[in-house]
Amino acid sequence: MSKARVATLWLDGCSGCHMSILDLDERLLELAGKMDLVFSPLVDIKEFPENVDVTLVEGAVSNEEDLEKIQKVRARSRLLVSLGDCAVTANVPSMRNPFSAQAVLDRAYVENATLNPGAPREVVPPLLPQARPIHEFVKVDMFVPGCPPSADTIYTVLTEILAGRTPKMSTLTRFGA
């Protein structure tokens, strides 16, 4: 039987949700018997591939690069999973939403700068007006709340999906857990 093609994506999040994936510890070896990790910040693959079975996405959509990524990833993924409160609700990244993008940049790069004040105009992708949850931009098939979702939750979600079942999220995790 061929293995499932699984990916993870890191948008505007603190990487805590990916740390939770690493907390699977020895269960990663068990999962490796059922799936191949074809793209992730945890592996050295530069281009998101075609025909991915399951993609877990950490983080909100906060800048133009995030938006390009999630649209490409959605088009190439059969099942898209919002992993963690930042992906599901925008959570911590949305704390900037009461302010304009320019006010946020000025605060970070001008008011708090002691050397070379000024917002970067190159390399750093332009901010969107607000940080927003993934499902406001693309269709999301499954929502896994938690900040971060525990390794046990991620293990159950993955094993259920790989077995062709739908995990019962309300018994697994909750917002802020």
Residues found near ligand SF4 in the complex (CB under 6 A): 13-14, 16-17, 58-59, 84-86, 91-92, 147-148
Which residue, 5 or 130, has its beta carbon nearer to ligand SF4? 130
Which residue, 48 or 143, has its beta carbon nearer to ligand SF4? 143
From 48, 41, 65, 73, select the one nearest 141 (Cα to Cα): 73
Which residue, 4 or 149, has its beta carbon nearer to ligand SF4? 149
Which residue, 81 or 86, has its beta carbon nearer to ligand SF4? 86
For the CB of residue 70, give the shortest distance to ligand SF4 in the complex, in Å. Answer: 15
Which residue, 148 or 167, has its beta carbon nearer to ligand SF4? 148
User: CA-CA-CA-CA torsion for 147, 152, 158, 161, nearest 10 degrees?
Assistant: -100
Q: Residue 125: what are its φ and ψ, rounded to 5°?
A: -65, 140
Q: And the tokens for 34?
A: 């059922």
Query: Whole-angstrom Cα distance, residue 8 to residue 17?
Result: 10
For the CB of residue 95, give the shortest distance to ligand SF4 in the complex, in Å. Answer: 11
* CA distances for 120 relative to 113, 123, 155, angstroms: 12, 8, 40
For the CB of residue 88, give the shortest distance to ligand SF4 in the complex, in Å. Answer: 8
Which residues, in sequence order, are CB contacts of 124 under 8 Å at separation 6+? Answer: none
Query: Whole-angstrom Cα distance, residue 10 to residue 81?
Result: 12
For the CB of residue 66, give the shortest distance to ligand SF4 in the complex, in Å. Answer: 13
For the CB of residue 58, give the shortest distance to ligand SF4 in the complex, in Å. Answer: 5
Query: Whole-angstrom Cα distance, residue 152 to residue 130?
Result: 32
